[in-house]
Amino acid sequence: MKTLMSMVHMMAKQVNSDLVLTCIDSFMDQEMVHLNTKSFQKNELNEKILVTKLYLVTSMEVDPTKTIMYVKATLGHFGLVEFESSTARTCQMILWKSGDKAAQICQWEEAISWYRVCLTLISDNMVDRHNDAMLHRKIALCQFELHHIDEALTECIQAKQFEQESDMPPTLLMLFILYLEKGDEAKAMENLAQISIQSRLDLYIHAATVAQKKENQGIVRNILKMVATSGHIDWSLDDTKCKVLTIIRCLIRLTKTNEPNKIDVQAIVSYANKAYGILKLWSQNGETREANTESFPQFETEVDWLLRVCWNTAIQIGHLDISNTATVNLFEIVSNLTLLFSTTTISHLKIRKSSLFIAALGQLFIVEKGDTTKAAEDLSKATVYIHEFENAVQSLSELDDTFDRMTDISMIQLLPIKFEIYVRQKKWSVAQSVIKD
């Protein structure tokens, strides 16, 4: 048999396809005569010859169209193979590999033909139903590469019918891509939403990448929002935290690309709060805050990035007078982020002091312009900012010998703010003590 295979391989490089295929038939007829002298049953003998023929013909470098026709004719000649037999499994594997080989070199139509022949050997049991779905999905991918979108959709829908729920995510992702290609965004998102974010976060990121390449910023934003607002994610995994933080970073950037006066500041605050919540949870892992651990640089980089984004965005929307509430919220997040660093530095304390000062001042503006029924609550928030500001000043004076509380501009400017807040709260004795100070 080895000699026979070597001869066929040599011939395939020298003569035309028809002659090679004829020789394979001739050699296999001789092999059958030889095997008849052995103690093989007829079915066993036929199956052995069938597998050998398929292996030989698919391993030759001959015309793929003629090869596929020959394989179909061979399967027809040998009749129905027992679907659940080892022979059927072996034949499936040979044909499947031929399809994969064609797909790897972008011979999409050839790959489709191989996969379709392979489908004729699929049974109805659970293992083969899984293979059936995979083959339909592979055909769909080939059709997509050929820009046959409707045909690809048909194959994907067939694949979905045969799949168990746990096997469905890749098909659902492909349906998302195909419907997006057709311009049906509603159906695209409907299929994507069926994928579990917790178990297949990677597919959501892939979907966002596809939408980004198509310059569909609306879909990108919707996908990232789905992930960022999901309540079904395992936050104990550092890799998950990093992926979601990356997504939130993209969301903030997308939101900030709008015209300055049309920035959705509430969305940015929401994303920043989500990111802060993730970072705070991450910081509660003792190892994260140890400088010699693998996750430490990553954690500190994420904190630093969010701090700078919140600071710059707060200044931007404050300057444009878009929303005092959003400005205050962002500066509050900044002050909280400074507490997440493993080492408290003078720089961090100065940032915290400044952000709390602005937050207190902003809260007073909200009281002056806002709903009077919420004035008490807003004033209470302002006093919290003032108290935290004073704690930051105390820490700064202990850490920085050059810092002078008596000449610090923010300390001086805070006095009238404190006085007005306490007067509005009708805390007369406290207001009086501010004047004395």
373 in the same domain as 264:
no
359 in the same domain as 336:
no
Residue closest to 176 by CA, chosen among 151, 193, 159 = 193
**What is the pLDDT at residue 12?**
45
Residue ending a domain, among 343, 368, 399, is 343
**What is the pLDDT at residue 14?**
46
416 in the same domain as 293:
no
398 in the same domain as 370:
yes
Residue ending a domain, among 323, 343, 363, is 343
Q: Tell me whether residue 69 is in a domain.
A: no
Range of the domain at 372: 354-437
**What is the pLDDT at residue 330?**
93
From residue 302, give the alpha-carbon distance in Å to each of 211, 274, 276, 380. Answer: 25, 13, 10, 31
Q: Tell me whether residue 81 is in a domain.
A: no
**What is the pLDDT at residue 32?**
53
Q: How far apart are CA 437 and CA 430, in angstroms?
A: 11
Q: What is the dihedral of CA 127, 129, 132, 136, to 10 degrees?
A: -130
Q: Tell me whether residue 52 is in a domain.
A: no
367 in the same domain as 257:
no
**What is the pLDDT at residue 167?**
81
378 in the same domain as 308:
no
Contact 303, 340 (CB under 8 A): yes
Q: Tell me whether residue 171 is in a domain.
A: no
Contact 146, 109 (CB under 8 A): yes
What's the pTM value of the predicted model, to 2 decimals? 0.64
At residue 125, the 3 state secondary structure works out as coil
Residue ending a domain, among 298, 315, 343, is 343
DSSP 344-380: --HHHHHHHHHHHHHHHHHHHHHHHHS-GGGHHHHHH
344 Ramachandran zone, left/alpha/beta (phi>0; psi -120 to 50) = beta
**What is the pLDDT at residue 110?**
93
Q: How many domains does the chain have?
A: 2
361 in the same domain as 316:
no
**What is the pLDDT at residue 174?**
94
230 in the same domain as 201:
yes
In degrees and rounded to multiples of 5, residue 404 shows phi and psi of: -115, 110
**What is the pLDDT at residue 153?**
95
Q: Tell me whether residue 23 is in a domain.
A: no
Instruction: Specify the length of the chain in residues.
Output: 437
210 in the same domain as 319:
yes
Q: Enter the tokens of residue 269.
A: 């605050």
Q: Tell me whether residue 159 is in a domain.
A: no
User: What letter does residue 37 receive in the DSSP assignment?
Assistant: T
395-428: buried (b, 16+ CB within 10 Å) or exposed (e) per residue?
bbeeeeeebeeeeeebbeebeebbbbbbebbeee
338 in the same domain as 283:
yes
Q: Tell me whether residue 387 is in a domain.
A: yes
221 in the same domain as 319:
yes
Q: Tell me whether residue 92 is in a domain.
A: no
10-residue mean pLDDT profile of the chain (437 residues): values are 52 48 56 51 59 72 78 71 68 89 93 91 76 92 94 93 83 94 93 87 86 86 83 68 81 74 83 89 69 69 90 87 89 93 87 91 83 77 88 89 84 83 80 69
362 in the same domain as 321:
no
Q: Enter the tokens of residue 106.
A: 């972008």
Q: How far apart are CA 171 and CA 136, in angstroms?
A: 10
**What is the pLDDT at residue 16?**
47
